[in-house]
């Protein structure tokens, strides 16, 4: 029998926050594209790619830390730009466009790498990977900073207001003078940048690049689940990153509890699925009530 003290001791809490940091960075970016009425299924592959770009560029050298991080984020942003252009210029459905880009990246990763590659710098490993202030990892503080920046952008900037408008009703937004395509492309670039940050963080934890860390972690589906649980409408136009952070912490807490209780992996996914369905059902019911009023 495990009591509450054992479930949430310092070791478990630190582990929970590390899990939340990786998933949270991806989910915050996913929130932006979903708010705009889009979606990104390539994030898992962007994560894997960014771990490899960062680790191979660093090659264990602290002096190459900044160039490696910059290159990894540049590559991630380029993928986001491609996603955005496919969705806005070619008018390809976001599900199909981002899935296609993800599969292209998967092909490159599968053919180019058989296993871990490169080596992250000791400075990155010690700081972002494992350093903490009390029980709070530095990586979780990074998540809070990114979440705060995105909250400010959504609540206080023209881009944020335009993004919500595009997600709510693209035609009304266009008639109001909003440049829909530019807003969505920007959202996709930011989403991929967040995935790239998550990849750099995971590389710092692993000490090398990992070609399958994104897909094995199910970061694409998990990030969407966190967004939905956090109250953001999949149709776009309603929600926010604060709710997403709550969804991330809920999923990370469930994962920590299941690990402590040694719950079978199959039942983990069943219960996670039930929670997501319940969250969507509650949101849909509230939306129907508001529409009826």
- In the chain, the number of structural domains is 1
Question: Does some domain include residue 284?
Answer: no
- The number of C-alpha atoms within 13 Å of 172 and in the hemisphere containing its C-beta is 9
C-alpha dihedral over 50, 183, 163, 87, to 10 degrees?
A: -70
Q: What's the pLDDT score for residue 173? A: 96
Question: Does some domain include residue 13?
Answer: no
- Separation between Cα atoms, residue 1 and residue 6, nearest integer Å: 10
Question: Does some domain include residue 12?
Answer: no
Domain encompassing residue 50: 19-220+232-239
Question: Does some domain include residue 186?
Answer: yes
pLDDT digit string, tens, across residues 93-149: 999 999 999 999 999 999 999 999 999 999 888 788 899 998 899 999 999 999 999
Q: Are 89 and 188 in contact (CB under 8 A)?
A: no
Question: Does some domain include residue 178?
Answer: yes
Question: Does some domain include residue 287?
Answer: no
Specify the long-range contacts of residues 53-57, CB closer than 8 Å, at least 24 apart: 53/209, 54/118, 54/120, 54/199, 54/200, 54/203, 54/209, 55/117, 55/118, 55/119, 55/120, 55/203, 55/208, 55/209, 56/117, 56/118, 56/209, 57/118
pLDDT digit string, tens, across residues 176-209: 999 999 999 999 999 999 999 999 999 999 999 9
Question: Does some domain include residue 48?
Answer: yes
Collapse the DSSP code of 137 into the 3-class scheme (helix H, G, I; strand E, B; otherwise coil) and give the result: strand
Question: Does some domain include residue 99?
Answer: yes
CA 147 to each of CA 22, 25, 41, 49, 245: distance values in angstroms, whole numbers, following the listed order = 13, 8, 20, 23, 8
Selected residue with higher pLDDT from 246 and 125? 246
Collapse the DSSP code of 136 into the 3-class scheme (helix H, G, I; strand E, B; otherwise coil) and give the result: strand
Selected residue with higher pLDDT from 262 and 30? 30
């Amino acid at each position: 029998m495990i009591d509450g003290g054992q479930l949430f001791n310092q070791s478990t809490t630190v582990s929970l926050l590390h899990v939340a940091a990786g998933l949270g960075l991806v989910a915050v970016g996913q929130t932006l594209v979903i708010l705009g009425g889009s979606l990104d299924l390539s994030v898992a592959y962007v994560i894997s790619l960014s771990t490899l770009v960062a680790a191979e560029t660093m090659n264990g050298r602290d002096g190459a830390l900044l160039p490696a991080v910059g290159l990894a984020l540049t590559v991630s942003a380029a993928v986001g730009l491609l996603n955005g252009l496919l969705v806005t210029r070619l008018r390809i459905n976001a599900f199909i466009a981002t899935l296609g880009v993800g599969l292209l990246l998967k092909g490159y990763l599968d053919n180019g790498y058989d296993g871990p590659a490169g080596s992250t710098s000791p400075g990155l490993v010690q700081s972002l990977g494992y350093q903490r202030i009390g029980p709070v990892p530095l990586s979780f503080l990074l998540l809070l900073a990114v979440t705060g920046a995105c909250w400010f952008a959504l609540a206080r900037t023209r881009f944020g207001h335009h993004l919500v408008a595009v997600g709510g009703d693209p035609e009304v937004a266009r008639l109001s003078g909003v440049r829909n395509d530019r807003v969505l492309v920007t959202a996709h670039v930011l989403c991929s940048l967040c995935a790239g940050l998550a990849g750099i963080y995971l590389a710092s934890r692993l000490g090398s690049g990992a070609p399958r860390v994104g897909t094995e972690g199910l970061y694409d589906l998990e990030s969407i689940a966190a967004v939905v649980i956090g109250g953001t409408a999949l149709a776009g136009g309603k929600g926010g990153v604060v709710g997403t952070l709550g969804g991330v912490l809920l999923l990370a807490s469930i994962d920590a509890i299941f690990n402590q209780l040694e719950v079978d992996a199959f039942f983990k996914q069943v219960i996670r699925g039930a929670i997501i369905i319940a969250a969507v059902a509650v949101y849909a019911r509230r939306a129907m009530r508001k529409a009826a009023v």
